[in-house]
Amino acid sequence: MIVAGPMRGTPVGRFVLRVAAWLPAAFVVWYLAGPVLAWPIALLTSAVARFAFSDVVQAVEQHGHVLTIVSTLKTTIANTTSAGVISVDVDILLYSFGLPMLAALILAARQPHAARRLILAYFVLAPFVTWGLVAEFLKHLVFDTPLGIAAQAGFSPLQREVIAFAYQFGSLILPSVAPAVFWVLTHRRFLESFAGDRT
Amino acid sequence: MGRFFLTFLLVQAVLFGAELTPWAQRWFVTPWTDTLAAISAGIVKVFDPQVIAAGKVLQSGSNGFAVSIEAGCNGVEATIVLIAAMLAFPAPWKRKLVGLAIGIVAVQGLNIIRVISLFYLGQWNFDAFEFAHLYVWQALIMLDVLVVWLLWVRTLPRAAPLPAPA
């Protein structure tokens, strides 16, 4: 079905120019508001990490846009009695750069209820950001710590493969694809005006 | 629309999983990344003869600054997303193949601009390089994929609109 809405006849070129115009401002706002935007994501990540990986997660602390995930894995220094636990710093910005891209797309589309779409976008994308953060934490535990320490987590070979895939997918695909998919899904009428436009 | 997105996600996951296999890394990803570095060096040498490419590394002969093209920066994932989006969309196969051929060139073309721009940005200011590398260019490449896909959808016959909701 082609819907002949008010956006019919909008050239792709003009839309791209509007996206380019919104993008710098969106990136500035996203970067400056990083710690505030990170807070709900930090809460979600803390909940997911503590619930799903309670055996390896001791605490999650937010420091601006960086989360410190403290594990239960103990590390000992040879020939001493010193002991500590492994903690991993993960950067929320690394997994949320799709937010300013999506904001620019939403604002450039000039569709009704843009503010509502922006808020919805944030909460829909938050779980994908959490995916990336938790996967990076697990990747560090499993692949970036000495074997003796990593073994404390008790992950099976299959679980290690799943963690590797989840990390790669969560860092290379989801941060940019999830916002694009959200935009396509929530701007179907706008996209149909493109499909009908031959100007 | 539901069928389109399910197919899109499935094709994307399969291609991405295949990309991560040692076989694909050895026979496709590594050679392509090296080629990307060589193409970038070839372009840059036109106005900066001291630049060299060694494997996946692009290096300045004058100040030693180098960038290594890693996963996520070689455009392979962006290409996978474009392939998945075009294969999943209901369109004649001929249109899909033409769209893929032109689209992949467009995505990889912008990716070469990304590599070259980061190479010079890094020599000017490392903080700016980090910001552009980690956030801005990642978004721009995906926007490129989206725009290429939109332009391709626009060229399709009107009998092939966006898939109806499942």
Where residue A4 falls among pLDDT bands split at 50, 70, 90? very low
Residues of chain A with Cβ-Cβ distance to B80 below 8 Å are 173
Beta bridge partners of A89: A68
**How confident is residue A199, by pLDDT bands cut at 50, 70 and 90?**
very low
Residue of A nearest to B71 (CA): A172
pLDDT > 50? residue A2: no
* pLDDT tens profile A149-180: 888 888 899 999 999 999 999 999 999 999 99
**B5 close to A (CB below 8 A):** yes
Give how far Cα B69 sits from Cα of A16, A47, A134, B53, Å. 27, 35, 25, 11
Query: How close A91 comes to chain B (CA, Å)?
Result: 11
Q: In 10 A of CB A97, how many CB atoms?
A: 24
Is 70 exceeded by the pLDDT of residue A1? no
- What chain B residue is nearest to A180 in terms of C-alpha separation? B146
Q: Are the C-beta atoms of residues A191 and B153 closer than 8 Å to each other?
A: yes
Q: What are the CB-based long-range contacts (under 8 Å, 24+) for B143-146?
A: B143/A19, B143/A101, B143/A105, B144/B78, B144/B106, B144/B107, B144/B110, B145/A180, B145/B78, B145/B81, B145/B82, B145/B85, B145/B103, B145/B107, B146/A105, B146/A180, B146/A183, B146/A184
CA–CA min distance A153, chain B (Å): 24
pLDDT tier for residue A195 given thresholds of 50, 70 and 90: low
How many C-beta neighbours within 10 Å does residue A88 have? 18
Kindly report the pTM of this predicted structure. 0.87
For the stretch B112-124, pLDDT in tens is 999 999 999 999 9
Distance CA B89, CA B83 (A): 10
The ipTM is 0.87
**Residues of chain A contacting residue B71, judged by C-beta atoms under 8 Å apart:** 168, 172
Q: CB distance from B72 to chain A under 8 Å?
A: yes
Residue A7: is its pLDDT beyond 50? Answer: no
* Residue of chain A whose Cα is closest to the Cα of B138: A176
* Option in A12, A27, A177 nearest B150 (CB): A12
Per residue in B22-69, pLDDT (tens digit) is 999 999 999 999 999 999 999 999 998 999 889 999 999 888 899 999
Cα separations in angstroms, A96 against A60, A102, A184: 18, 10, 18
Instruction: Please state, in angstroms and as integers, the Cα–Cα distance from residue A33 to each residue in A29, A104, A132, A172, A192, following that order.
Output: 6, 16, 20, 24, 34
